[in-house]
Amino acid sequence: MKSIIVGTAGHIDHGKTALVKALTGIDADRLEEEKRRGITIDLGFAHMDLASANGEPLHLGFVDVPGHERFVRNMLAGVGGIDLVLLVIAADESIKPQTREHFDILQLLGVQRGVTVLTKLDAVDAETLDVVRLEVEEFLRGTFLEAPQSPIVAVSALTGAGLEDLKRAIVSTTAGAQPRDSSALARLPVDRVFTMKGFGTVVTGTLISGTIRRDEELEVFPSGRKVRVRGVQVHGQPADAAVAGQRTALNLAWTSTEDLSRGMTLAPPATYSTTRRVDVQLSLLSAAPRPLKSRTRVHFHSNTMETVAEITLHGVKQLAPGSQAFARLKLPEAALLLPGDRFILRQFSPVVTIGGGVVLDSAPISRMPELENFLQVLAASAPERMLGSRIERRGQAGITLSRLVAETGWATNVLETRLAPALRERKVLRIGDLFVDAAAVVRTQQLTVSLVETFHRKDPLVGGIAREALREQVKASSEVFQAILELLSREKKIEVAGDLVHLPGRGVVMKDEEAESKEKIEGAFAGAGLKVPALHEVIAGLKVDKIRAQKIVTLLLRDKMLVKISDELVFHRSALEELRRLVAAQKLKSPKMDVAKFKELTGVSRKYAIPLLEYLDRERVTRRVGDLREIL
């Protein structure tokens, strides 16, 4: 069964609620105050079934909205999820202020289908009706409700005249409407929260995408609270599941009415991310009272949510009435907004509708270069190009599939399908869990080689640059950096030796005085045995400066020609190997020795004996037992 959500719109007292009741038999005014005062204050709901042109059943869910200017905020909470609008204009009053404001809102929200209904047919004569019809046709010219593409039907809710014509007009108008995607990730913006005796907490809303099933676990955005769906109703009837495009009521466990409110959204857990900043395409109404300046605060409405936003215009300082611009909206608290979400802006004071637009990016990057070009792609390109741009802007950092889900609102299978051509053509690379722009990988490869070349020029006495130091300069994730090193190694542009990265065949390059100093340092320690000189004394006698001398020492330590056993003592490798042989020979005579015996064995003073014994302990040649060393 095809489900269509029909919303009403129009001026107060033009007969929207009476029309819905005449069509469905349901009084959408549910509040006692509404019945007492005779005006609609909040959203009302009704439903009915019709047969489509091909005889298939068509289920219509009605969202009846208030027409009074004081309750436009409630009207906005109801029209975000509609597929078709009934623009209601009383034949005895014609077009009024809220007719215009409601219609502006419908156009800003991108509503594409509707029927114009001239109500109170019984209150006017034929001549007056003809005049009003002409006024309405002129008012709607050039819009999505322009006649004859969109019908204008005159009815009387009192006598029933024209109701059958209206039903036929609704059926014909819905014929081309595409059903909402029930396979997408679910989103249910909440418009009502209440407690029902015997059931507990209930929320209602129009399911704008996906499917919600009984016993499913959901997350409440933006609070992050988890809830379980205890029961589902669709248009007032129990169901196993609700699908996109249906008026839905959920009986929830693990929560109470205090935890929920209009404006929140239910969705699958760990899928979306809330945000306080969104980049948008913004349109200012021609009837806006003044230009819109950057840093202006406005009332922001999207789906069932209402908050305050501060606008920063991109590329311009102010926006003239009737113009468009890209902008960033800053919200006081986190909200769930996704690309494609429509919104309405109302002036902060006095509160009137001034514009609206569409969300382009709910994960903006601060100080992003060429931001306007990126937003232009999001506003006017095919999904594959939009996706490529999202990956491209992440550069060598890449982006995970789960992050792409949160940024786009698309399910993983949709993302993988749309990424497949770019992966085949090697425009995008998959590295571990990341999708990375291929051009960014090439640039990062070039940067990596350049950094290694620069390091060799600056530090010829060091065999190569440390991997982690190089990764930090490249500013790539560990996964991407490892992949880049492997690519460059296969292409023989670099070599990786342990923790060092260097150019192929490139080692330490020494000048004559540096090579001479290296030999002198090594000789000084090799000839000293265990009675080594202080390192600073050796360095002081060299021809090279202290910095280069220290690098030569570091090179000898790295190659393990010298071994540093304490902050002050450095020994030649051969001397320590001879020490191990001495200790091993001593074990044959006695498996234990004290400090005095060690000094006698090696001929060194206590200054050397204690650090050497601690070195042997670390090397597991000896083990300290009280004041003695046990030779292992």
**Amino acid 266: pLDDT:** 98
pLDDT at 507 over 80: no
Residues 143 and 209 in one domain: no
Residues 29 and 168 in one domain: yes
How confident is the prediction for the chain on average, in pLDDT?
89
- Structure tokens belonging to residue 319: 């926006």
User: Mind listing the pLDDT tens digit for each residue in 409-442?
Assistant: 999 999 999 999 999 999 999 998 999 999 999 9
- Give 574's pLDDT tier (boundaries 50, 70, 90): confident
Q: What is the mean pLDDT of residues 510-515?
A: 60
Residues 219 and 279 in one domain: no
Given 300, 326, 361, which residue is the final one in a domain? 361
User: Mind listing the pLDDT tens digit for each residue in 241-291?
Assistant: 999 989 999 999 999 999 999 999 999 999 999 999 999 999 999 999 999
**Amino acid 568: pLDDT:** 76
User: Mind listing the pLDDT tens digit for each residue in 139-152?
Assistant: 999 999 998 889 99
- Output DSSP code: residue 269: T
- Give 536's pLDDT tier (boundaries 50, 70, 90): low
181 falls within a domain? no
301 touches 346 (CB < 8 A)? yes
- Give 508's pLDDT tier (boundaries 50, 70, 90): low
CA distances from 522 to 264, 449, 510, 525, 554 (A): 73, 33, 15, 6, 12
pLDDT at 558 over 80: no
When mean pLDDT is compared over 25-34, 96-105, 170-179, 494-503, the highest value belongs to 96-105
Helix (H) or strand (E) holding 44: strand 44-51
Residue 201 is part of a domain; what is its CATH number? Answer: 2.40.30.10
Cα dihedral across residues 70, 72, 77, 82: positive or negative: positive
| pTM for the model | 0.79
Domain that holds residue 25: 2-174
What whole-number percentage of the chain has pLDDT above 70? 92
Per the structure, the count of domains in the chain is 4
153 falls within a domain? yes
Query: What are φ and ψ of residue 192, in 5° steps?
Result: -140, 145
**Amino acid 30: pLDDT:** 67
pLDDT at 587 over 80: yes
Residues 8 and 144 in one domain: yes
Residues 31 and 102 in one domain: yes
**Amino acid 385: pLDDT:** 95
Residues 68 and 126 in one domain: yes
Provide the residue type at 4 as one letter. I
Judging by DSSP bridges, how do beta strands 275-284 and 353-361 pair with one another? antiparallel
Residues 221 and 350 in one domain: no
**Amino acid 547: pLDDT:** 67
Q: What is the mean pLDDT of residues 442-465?
A: 86
Q: What is the mean pLDDT of residues 44-69?
A: 85
d(Cα 379, Cα 529) in Å, to the nearest integer?
A: 76
469 falls within a domain? no
**Amino acid 365: pLDDT:** 92
